[in-house]
């Protein structure tokens, strides 16, 4: 029995949903072929995840790895360029997640609607000679715009913020959500997992261990001296010489620079960052599912120190962060490092808060200039 025209059209629409980002505003009223949601037959139920910046150096491998995650049922890929190609490519993978692509600012809201988890690697990468602060002026505006979309379309989503400088972009995101009246500190997490991944790897190399069996708490922030590995709390317990402590601390703090210089202008730590981001996202999804004992390090709204944001171990649950753990006992080396970290971190946090306040002021001035009679 041959399929009728209606069935054929539906099949074509299903294929089209894989290959093209939705743009319903351009559909012609007379067309009988609209794009349909494409769901893998027999695909298991899971969570809806959006990646903002999915066509970038981090975004592409991140999207591929998230497509492989069995906890993901719907994967939305958003960027301002090249999303259709990335979507078509990743949609050919024979895993259960449904992939949809969204291109440009006009499709941001559609990309975000109904999401459970939003991962943000969007922004420009570091280049040789650049610090994370050099990225601030560009990436701060990008993060602000994306978080305004989140506040409007999926205010209950867990947000994993990767865009650098994380020490400043997380405070920006918090201010955006506060302005929108949607801020929930449990749901905003700056991703510092790459520092932990590096720490585990480098310690394992020095001690001759399997890195998968090493756990190094890394606290503070996500740039230079604000990255503080607590080598006194490594599991399994390890004894280091002072020379090893100096070497490991310096390498963990400057791991990003190591990759930028090694790539010689061809990019930054994109692959290891994507791996770390997926590892952290998987932890968030397992916690959303109801798994207990999910503990990871993240840069979050915190009372661990006098600073409003700080990276430390947190326990994740169905609504985001359930508990922020204290630092635990520090040795003298770590106490000195903590004071150095807090000084620079405080300045970076204030930079993000100040940016948000200036943006609000400029918006208000612009509205007054457009409507002087209402001022």
Strands 117-120 and 47-52: parallel
Backbone torsion region of residue 309, taken as left when φ is above 0, otherwise alpha when ψ lies between -120 and 50, otherwise beta: beta
Q: Which residues pair with 295 in a beta bridge?
A: 315
CB atoms under 10 Å from CB of 4, counted, come to: 9
CB atoms under 10 Å from CB of 22, counted, come to: 21
331 annotated ligand-binding residue: no
| Residue 209: partners with Cβ closer than 8 Å, 6 or more residues away | 203, 236
Query: Is 222 known to be catalytic?
Result: yes
58 annotated ligand-binding residue: yes
Alpha-carbon span 25 to 22, nearest angstrom: 9
57 annotated ligand-binding residue: yes
273 annotated ligand-binding residue: yes
359 annotated ligand-binding residue: no
321 annotated ligand-binding residue: no
- Strands (E) across the chain are located at 47-52, 72-79, 98-103, 117-120, 158-161, 188-190, 218-220, 227-229, 294-301, 309-317, 320-324
4 annotated ligand-binding residue: no
Are 217 and 229 in contact, with CB atoms under 8 Å apart? Answer: yes
181 annotated ligand-binding residue: no
| Residue from 18, 76, 222, 303 carrying the catalytic annotation | 222
163 annotated ligand-binding residue: yes
42 annotated ligand-binding residue: no
54 annotated ligand-binding residue: yes
Burial per residue of 201-234, b for 16 or more beta-carbon CB atoms within 10 angstroms, e otherwise: bbbbeebeeebeebbbbbbbbbbbbbbbbbbbbb
164 annotated ligand-binding residue: yes
200 annotated ligand-binding residue: no
Of 261, 259, 279, 280, give the one whose Cα is nearest residue 270: 259
5 annotated ligand-binding residue: no
User: Binding site residues, as ranges?
Assistant: 53-59, 79, 126, 132, 139, 162-164, 198, 273
User: Binding site residues for substrate, as ranges?
Assistant: 126, 132, 164, 198
Please give the positions annotated as active site: 222
User: Binding site residues for NAD(+), as ranges?
Assistant: 53-59, 79, 139, 162-164, 273
């Amino acid at each position: 029995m041959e399929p009728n025209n209606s069935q054929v059209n539906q099949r074509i629409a299903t294929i089209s949903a894989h290959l093209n980002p939705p743009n319903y505003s351009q559909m012609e009223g007379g067309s009988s072929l609209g794009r349909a949601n494409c769901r893998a037959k027999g695909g298991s139920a899971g969570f809806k995840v959006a990646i903002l910046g999915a066509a970038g150096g981090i975004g592409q491998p991140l999207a591929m790895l998230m497509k492989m995650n069995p906890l993901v049922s719907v994967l939305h890929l958003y960027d301002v360029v090249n999303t259709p190609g990335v979507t078509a490519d990743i949609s050919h993978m024979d895993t259960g997640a449904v992939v949809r692509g969204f291109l440009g600012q006009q499709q941001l809201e559609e990309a975000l609607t109904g999401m459970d988890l939003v991962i943000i690697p969007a922004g420009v990468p570091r280049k040789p000679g650049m610090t994370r602060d050099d990225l601030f002026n560009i990436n701060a505006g990008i993060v602000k715009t994306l978080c305004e979309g989140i506040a409007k379309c999926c205010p209950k989503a867990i947000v994993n913020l990767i865009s650098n400088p994380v020490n400043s972009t997380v405070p920006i995101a918090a201010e955006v959500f506060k302005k929108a009246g949607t801020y929930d500190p449990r749901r905003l997490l700056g991703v510092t997992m790459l520092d932990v991944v590096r720490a585990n790897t480098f310690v394992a190399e020095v001690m001759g261990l399997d890195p998968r069996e090493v756990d190094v708490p890394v606290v503070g922030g996500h740039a230079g001296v604000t990255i503080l590995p607590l080598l006194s709390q490594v599991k399994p317990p390890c004894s280091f010489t002072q020379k090893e402590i100096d070497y490991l601390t310096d390498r963990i703090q400057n791991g990003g620079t190591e990759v930028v210089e090694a790539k010689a202008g061809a990019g930054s730590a994109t692959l290891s960052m994507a791996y770390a981001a997926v590892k952290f996202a998987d932890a968030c999804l397992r916690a959303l599912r109801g798994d207990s004992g999910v503990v990871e390090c993240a840069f979050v709204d915190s009372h661990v120190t006098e600073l409003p944001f700080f990276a430390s171990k947190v326990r994740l649950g169905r609504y985001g962060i359930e508990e922020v753990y204290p630092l635990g006992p520090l040795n003298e080396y770590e106490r000195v490092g903590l004071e150095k970290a807090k000084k620079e971190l405080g300045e970076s946090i204030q930079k993000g808060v100040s940016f948000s306040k200036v943006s609000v002021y400029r918006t208000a001035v612009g509205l007054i200039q457009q409507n002087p009679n209402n001022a």
